[in-house]
Amino acid sequence: MRAVSAVHVKRAFKFRFYPTEAQAAELSRTFGCVRLVWNRALAARTEAWAERRERIDYGATSAMLTSWKRTEELAFLSEVSSVPLQQVLRHLQGAFGNFFAKRAKYPRFKSRKRSRGSAEYTRSAFRYRDGQLTLAKMAEPLDVVWSRPLPEGVGPSTVTVSRDAAGRWFVSMLCEDPAVAPLPPVGTVVGVDLGVTSLVTLSTGERIPNPRHERRDRERLGRAQRELSRKAPGSANREKARRKVARIHARIADRRRDFLNKLTTRLVRDNQAVVIEDLAVRGLLGNRKLSRAVADCAWAEFRAMLAYKCAWYGRELITVDRWFPSSRLCSACGAVRDALPLTVREWECGCGAFHDRDVNAARNILAAGLAAAACGDGVGPQRSTPGGRSSVKQEVVPPPRSRAAARPRG
């Protein structure tokens, strides 16, 4: 496997905090101004291109922001810190850069109800001293719950404050983490087959059962959603019921994220390379019978965690193309079955080999990944399916890039 050189890793440390009434009001105003500036700048850039075929860059939108602050209608933009407003224009510039590079869809407008409130502060807009964080326009430091220490001798370069749908406040501090470095090489490589009953089946034969986090709270969630549906729109009781539903969703997401973090860390630390299958998650979510169970598995989040942790610790992540017949291929003789319904969990090949469906798939994924690495350039041999599609295409996956939001209209 390829050696990965050490890199300086910037890592976000996220903490919960409890603002005072004044701090909450100031942050809420800032979130509203950030959303307003994003929407106005996006509308200006879209209109300029639609009417004049003119591309507006960050400099032009920054000048627009200055002119907006001088108007009577938008004079309140001067009452909040200017740094988050400039940062959102930079984020919009990055979103358009991703769109023009065909890495993402067209940026979309931020909704007051559906968008997560957040604001980013750079070093000139906050003070971090003696374990206390004070933001611009605030007289008192935030009451942060320091659940873990920041790297010693390192200060944050940016601070992002956010509030989730459940009303919880979080601060994310971006720091260089010298503790993140390539791990000592090991001689093991593992193939991973993702599933619903067993979330992960390894080529070693080990099965990791699916915790089914959503199913554990399904009855409680359904009861809270029924209560929400009975509340009058716009009432205070409806807002309380909405918060209750959001808290249940947040609890499910927190448990799922914690489980996936522990699992991916273990896989990366114990293996020099991890081979997974490139599943078409979006297509599977279109299946009405499977969509709820597939969404609860969070396969995309699992793969994203593997990608950045492999990059951090000098490991390699290899993906096998989704058309590779990992379940139908006999890992002993190489014969491919014509069909293998999902209800068939064990099968016997003509060569006499008896296979567990998931373990056999994991072993085939591992073999295909090793073949891809041996061929070079991350591309392995091609096989043809009866439909004429390429069934095997392995590639080494780099860490994922940030993606802009989807375009709302044509």
**Which of 206, 173, 153 has the alpha carbon at shortest distance from 359?**
206
The burial of 63, by beta-carbon neighbours within 10 Å (0-12 exposed, 13-18 middle, 19 or more buried), is given as exposed
Residues 6+ apart with CB under 8 A from 176: 8, 9, 10, 11, 151, 154, 157
Instruction: Please give the structure tokens belonging to residue 209.
Output: 């059962």
Write down the pLDDT at residue 392: 40
Question: Alpha-carbon distance 334 to 328, whole Å?
Answer: 10
pTM of the predicted model as reported, rounded to 2 decimal places: 0.83
Q: Which amino acid is at 375?
A: C
Asked if 114 and 161 touch (Cβ cutoff 8 Å), the reply is no
Write down the pLDDT at residue 383: 41
Angle between the 21-52 and 82-100 helix axes, to the nearest 10 degrees? Answer: 40
Residues 6+ apart with CB under 8 A from 338: 328
How confident is the prediction along the chain (410 residues), in pLDDT tens digits per residue?
444 444 578 999 999 999 999 999 999 999 999 999 999 999 999 999 999 889 899 999 999 999 999 999 999 999 999 999 999 999 999 999 999 999 999 999 998 887 789 999 999 999 999 889 999 999 999 999 999 999 888 889 999 999 999 999 999 999 999 888 999 999 999 999 999 989 999 999 999 999 999 999 999 999 999 999 999 999 999 999 999 999 999 999 999 999 999 999 999 999 999 999 888 787 788 878 888 898 999 999 999 999 999 999 999 999 988 888 888 888 888 888 888 888 888 888 888 888 888 999 999 999 988 887 777 544 333 343 334 343 444 444 444 444 333 333 33
Instruction: Please give the structure tokens belonging to residue 159.
Output: 């601070």
Cα torsion angle, 293, 296, 301, 305, sign? negative
**Which of 100, 86, 21, 5 has the alpha carbon at shortest distance from 312?**
5
Going from the C-alpha of 262 to that of each of 112, 188, 270, the distances in angstroms are 34, 19, 12
Question: Alpha-carbon distance 121 to 158, whole Å?
Answer: 6
Question: Alpha-carbon distance 295 to 214, whole Å?
Answer: 9
Question: Alpha-carbon distance 381 to 390, whole Å?
Answer: 10
Catalytic residues: 193, 277, 358
Angle between the 236-270 and 299-313 helix axes, to the nearest 10 degrees? Answer: 50
Residue 230 DSSP label: T
Token pair 């099968």: residue = 347
Question: Alpha-carbon distance 216 to 378, whole Å?
Answer: 40
Question: How would you label 306-344 residue by residue, b for 16+ Cβ within 10 Å and e otherwise?
Answer: bbbbbbbbbbbbbbbbebbebbbbbbeeeeeeeebeeee
Residues 6+ apart with CB under 8 A from 323: 385, 389, 390, 391, 392, 393
